[in-house]
Structure 1
Amino acid sequence: MRIAVTGASGYVGGAVCRAAVAAGHDVLALGRRPRVDPRHVAGAPYRAHDLADSLPALAGDLAGTDAVVHAAGPASDSLPAQAHWDAHVGGTRTVLAALPRDARLVHLSTASVYDPRRPTVRAREDAGPARRHPDGYGTAKAATERLVRATRPDAVILRPHAVYGPGETTLLPRLLAAVRAGRVLVPGRGPRAVSLTRIDTLVGAVLAVLRGPAGVYNVADAEPVELLAVIETVLAARGVRARPLGLPVPLARATALVAELGAHLWGTTPVLTRYAVRHIAPERTLDVTALRDRSGYAPPPTDVLDAADW
């Protein structure tokens, strides 16, 4: 197949490019950065595009493609709401306008479209997106899903949660930055289950749904794991002597607010955000039955020992 990948200069998009090339597909890499290391996209041709204003050029590049994997857009929880709206909703509008009529669209969404104000317990796809979100990222991603489903009902939407693996630039750095005096403060008290998604799991799902039934699919490793145990294992694998310490949710929220205000003042990235508190404190698990049964892709189990190469 001839596949175009948006967001190819990023972590997920680059991994999709490398896997698609390895699988024998003809890949075109599209990203916002002016250039990337050819190894990042496995030598695939690379075109720089700003989805905010590149419709004619993008339409030309997408002509003749069999599938477009739309992985563009920031996954940050500290950007302004308008920035998320412009990147996710605005960028997706451009992709939809440029998409060939008979091409398969694989849109990479997020499990953050589920209601963050209550635990996510083995959530099935029909539980989201929630009507309202307290943050700009969830609001924009939910609106983007609705836009895709209304415009291209033949599309596939994937909802991964907590993507990890080699080269990951969000979860592990933030975890390591939170280590203080042999402790890592974790919002919420006591053990809780969480679904994690290794980058290879996500990429395997992308390749599996290039053909087959359209629809929405949760994506995660085979079974949930216990969050605090994962944190301990990851830190030990990195040689960091620290243990997780639960922080009551009200205190975690207050701490996050102070961290956000300080980061805004100093122009830095907060170690803890209110978004993170909402998503870490309760259970966050996904039902991946639809992915197994409808796409034929069986996710592998989480291997936290393999996290040493993050």
Structure 2
Amino acid sequence: MRLAITGATGFVGNAIRHAAMARGWTVHPYGSRTWDITKGPLADPPEVDAVVHAAAAVTDWGDGKAIWRTNVDGTRHVLDSFPGRRFVHISTASVYDPCTPAEYATEDQAPVTRYLTAYAASKAASELLLPGRPDTVILRPHAVYGPGDPTLLPRVLKAIRGRSLVIVGDGQARQSLTSLDNLVQATLLACTGPPGTYNVADETPVILEEALCALLDERGLDVRIRHLPLKQAWALAGAAESLWHIAGAHRPPRLTRYAISHLAYERTLDTTAAQRALGYQPAATSFKGAATWLDDQVNRLVPTARRSGRRSPVTGRQRRWATR
């Protein structure tokens, strides 16, 4: 198998790259330094059997035009670079309706017509580029986590104040999380499996507060979880977003409606289609090893930071609650 991977230096793409190489596949990895997908098609694309498109602007805040250029124009450029090849598109469960709970959502329930962020809208638009290309697989994971996690764990840790972590709602919303290993498994299966759109998630959903407690316990943190009423949080988030936009802030407020929509409401996915068509066999949610996940991130992105004795910029960098 000859495979091209975009976003191959990122959290998801890098894991796919290593797993494919472990299978003996020939891999052509592309990161932003080797190919800026916003600028146009690849000048001299290699002969491949399949393309995994993992590159994306994953953020719930920022320049909407720049996000659109990466997620929509960039996807179009990758498609143009590899005509007639199997195309595996790493999308997101953010394409489902953000304003209503998702209860074991099936693939036919998205895209929708309303979104809270340019990220979600652009990922939905990128999916709409694909129906005319028959040999295509779309994967929709939710809340991807694992070694090197650049989003979920850093944001949880950043939200801790003293020994307290405030979450919106009663903490009992069920969530389908997606381990990095499960997403990698689904992606490799998609390289040769039947075309289609497939949800990707862990074996069974988890209760948000229970999952957070398990994650914090694995990190060895004694943190009390407190609750903010949903209606109050939604109003505060809307007001904060308006003020931040007026001020032209480059960083998001601590609370956004997008984050609330993914954490306070049920977000569960039906993975029946992936299991039946692709042979996907998801493992259960597990945070084992989470104590070293940020170290894994540093080692992957800034391998010289520790050797030089300088503090790595990675763990201090602003991260977003934009979840795939």
- The two structures have a TM-score, normalised by structure 2, of 0.85
Higher mean C-alpha displacement, 227-236 vs 241-250: 241-250
Task: Indicate the RMSD between aligned Cα atoms, in angstroms.
Answer: 1.8
Deviates more, 1:139-148 or 1:249-258: 249-258
Q: CA deviation at 1:80?
A: 2.7
SS of the residue 1:229 aligns to: helix
2:285 — aligned with what? 302
Using the alignment, how far apart are the partners of 1:289 and 1:308 within structure 2? 32
Q: Deviations over 1:80-114 (max 9, x none)?
A: 3222211111101101111131x110000000000
Q: State how 1:37-52 maps to structure 2 within 5 Å.
A: 48-52=34-38
| Distance in structure 2 (CA, Å) of the matches to 1:166 and 1:256 | 30
Asked whether 1:12 is paired with 2:9, we answer no
Q: Which of the residues 135, 141, 165 maps onto 2:146? A: 165
**Alpha-carbon contact 2:216-2:222 (below 8 Å) kept:** yes
Aligned residue number for residue 118 of structure 2: 136
Residue 56 (structure 1) shift: 4.5
In structure 2, the partner of 1:221 is: 202
Question: Structure 1 stretches of 5 or more lacking a match?
Answer: 35-47
- Hey, what's the Cα distance between the residues in 2 that align with 1:14 and 1:271? 29
2:56 match: 73
**What's the offset of the Cα at 1:180?**
1.4
- Does residue 91 in structure 1 map to residue 74 in structure 2? yes
Unmatched 5+ stretches in structure 2: 294-324
The one-letter code matched in structure 1 to 2:28 is: L
- Match in the other structure for 1:44: none
Q: Deviations along 1:183-216, whole A, 9 cap, x unmatched?
A: 2111222411100001010001001111121000
Is 1:195 the counterpart of 2:181? The answer is no
Deviation for aligned residue 1:128: 1.0
Query: Which is further off, 198-207 or 179-188?
Result: 179-188
Cα 1:300–1:88 shift into 2, 3 Å: same
Residue of structure 1 equivalent to 2:2: 2
* d(CA) in 2 for partners of 1:100, 1:143: 19
1:155 corresponds to which of 128, 132, 136 = 136
Match of 1:139, as an amino acid?
A: A
Distance 2:58 2:105 in 1: 21
Spell out, residue by residue over 1:252-293, the C-alpha distance to the aligned partner (whole angstroms, 9 max, x if none). 234434655459666445433221011111100001111111
Q: Is the 1:165–1:309 Cα contact (8 Å) retained in structure 2?
A: no
Q: Deviations over 1:198-243 (max 9, x none)?
A: 1010001001111121000000011101110010111122122212
Pick the aligned partner of 1:55 from 41, 63, 68. 41
Q: 1:184 to 1:259 in 2, by over 3 A?
A: farther
Quote the residue 1:239 is aligned against. Answer: 220
- CA–CA distance in structure 2, aligned partners of residues 136 and 249 of structure 1: 23
Greater RCO (Cα-Cα under 8 Å, separation 6 or more):
2
SS, match of residue 128 in structure 2: helix
